[in-house]
Amino acid sequence: MTASGLLKLKPGDTIGILGGGQLGRMLALAAARLGLRCQVFSPDPDSPAFDVVQYATCAEYADVEALELFAADVDVVTYEFENVPAATAMVLSARRPVLPNHKVLEITQDRLAEKDFVNSLGIATAPYADVASAAGLRAAITTIGLPAVVKTRRFGYDGKGQAMLREGVDIDAAWTDLETKSAILEGFVPFEREISVIAARGADGQVECFDVTENEHRDHILKHSHAPARIPETLAEQARSIATRIATALDYIGVLAVEMFVVPGERGPTLLVNEIAPRVHNSGHWTLDGASVSQFEQHIRAIAGWPLAKPVRHGAVTMTNLIGDEVNDYTRWLMVPGATVHLYGKGAARPGRKMGHVTEVAPPTSRKP
Ligand code: AMP
């Protein structure tokens, strides 16, 4: 700690990372380049992040003894996924700084709380309603209309825990299929494109945003990200300003992603916030090879209490996710001039599993395998 009470790590200090997936792995690699060590905590013995750190804790998130030992070994704790159990965050934050702070988790783990929070800042989202029963869903449809998207309030990702509702839908069956007691109904947004802003906020309140990213999904999973997004600069400026306001209102330290819809309108396109991810994000992977600093390094700098970098993009960048057995194409990608291949070291290439990604800076499309 410094005299001002702010945490400031020194090279050689240790960052504890909750979660052992590819995001934890890339955070640990970025930390290593800055002379910082990482210890990864994950219940999965096959965690990809375990491969790149010297010390790891393989234990359940509810294992208080393991959490206490982990806290004793590290100088600061961060996380690579937003569903960190509240009790885990409490045990750790009693012993070490946990960044970003626990209030961020409370808000971003619950779609309803998150949308209420975003609206409270005067930032627009799709219309939404709290739904707790089939009758509640029927009532919400009366106000919001159809088509609409019903989403579980918690634990949704990559399109899981949500369903599109169209005219004529069997409301009772749709509610039963969702297998939840708490959901929200969102008006369907006829978006023109999806974008995200990756923003970093330092302990001193400085915010640095990467250039706005445009995202293409396939089967609800991110397939390509392009930077910069094909939107007017005034809209890009608005997107960065929204992310900055959100990060500031959360008193956020670290990197966060704000996903937004670009909606066409008579007086030009406007933005609606879809989701906040309180962590490094798949749509920011292009920064590893396409910018002077990566989202992972920015996160490490922020939680270490170090100055943030001012990111400079190297050119037009495309990131392609290698999903499921697409990873078997890696040798072909390795031969593509200008392509940078990242493989996460995961075992089984199950359908829908993110196995790696490829970055191309100003890629001619003809080069793709
Ligand atoms: P989410 O889990 O909220 O990020 O949603 C996953 C994907 O579903 C988004 O990236 C959109 O492509 C689509 N989606 C989610 N909500 C809506 C909505 N209200 N209107 C239209 N598409 C949506």
Q: Topology of domain 14-98, per CATH? A: Rossmann fold (3.40.50)
Pairwise CA distance, residues 40 & 15, whole Å: 8
pLDDT surpasses 90 at 120: yes
Distance (Å) from CA 1 to ligand 1 centroid: 41
Rounded mean pLDDT of 347-365? 88
> So what's the pLDDT on residue 89?
95
Q: For residue 7, name the pLDDT band (cuts at 50, 70, 90).
A: confident
Answer yes or no: are the C-beta atoms of 62 and 87 closer than 8 Å.
yes
For residue 190, give the ligand 1 atom closest to its CA: 21
> What is the whole-number distance in angstroms between the Cα of residue 120 and the centre of ligand 1?
21
Q: Which of 223, 199, 210 is nearest to 323 (CA)?
A: 223
Q: How far apart are CA 3 and CA 306, in angstroms?
A: 15
Q: Report residues whose beta carbon is within 6 angstroms of any ligand 1 atom.
A: 126, 149, 156, 159, 162, 186, 188-189, 194, 217, 220, 259, 274-275
Q: What is the pLDDT of residue 3?
A: 46
Centre of ligand 1 from the C-alpha of residue 218, in Å:
12
The pLDDT, as a whole number, for residue 157 is 72
245 DSSP 8-state letter = H
Map out the domains of the chain as residue ranges: 14-98, 127-187, 193-361
**Pocket-testing residue among 274, 275, 283, ligand 1, by greatest number of atoms within 8 A of Cβ:** 274
Task: Report pLDDT for 282.
Answer: 98
Alpha-carbon gap, residue 132 to 134, rounded angstroms:
7
pLDDT for position 159: 72
For tokens 């959490």, what's the residue? Answer: 67
Q: Closest ligand 1 atom, CA of 274?
A: 3
Distance of CA 189 from the midpoint of ligand 1 (Å): 8
Place of tokens 């990131």: 319
The yes/no answer on whether domain 127-187 falls in CATH 2.30.36.70 is: no
pLDDT band at 368 (very low <50, low <70, confident <90, very high): low
Read off the pLDDT of residues 130-167 as tens digits, 9 standing for 90 and up: 999 999 999 999 999 999 999 999 987 767 789 999 99
Q: Which atom of ligand 1 is nearest to the CA of 162?
A: 2
Nearest to 99 by CA among 16, 196, 199, 14: 16
Query: DSSP readout, 24-69?
Result: HHHHHHHHHHTT-EEEEEES-TT-GGGGG-SEEEE--TT-HHHHHH
The model's pTM? 0.95
Tell me the CA–centroid distance for residue 196 and ligand 1, in Å: 13
φ, ψ dihedrals at 98, nearest 5°: -110, 120
- The reported pLDDT for the residue numbered 367 is 47
**How far away, in angstroms, is 134 Cα from ligand 1 center?**
21
Mean pLDDT of the chain: 95
Choose which CATH entry (3.65.10.10, 3.30.365.10, 3.30.470.20, 3.30.2320.80) describes domain 193-361: 3.30.470.20
Q: pLDDT for 188-220, tens place per residue?
A: 999 999 999 999 999 999 999 999 999 999 999
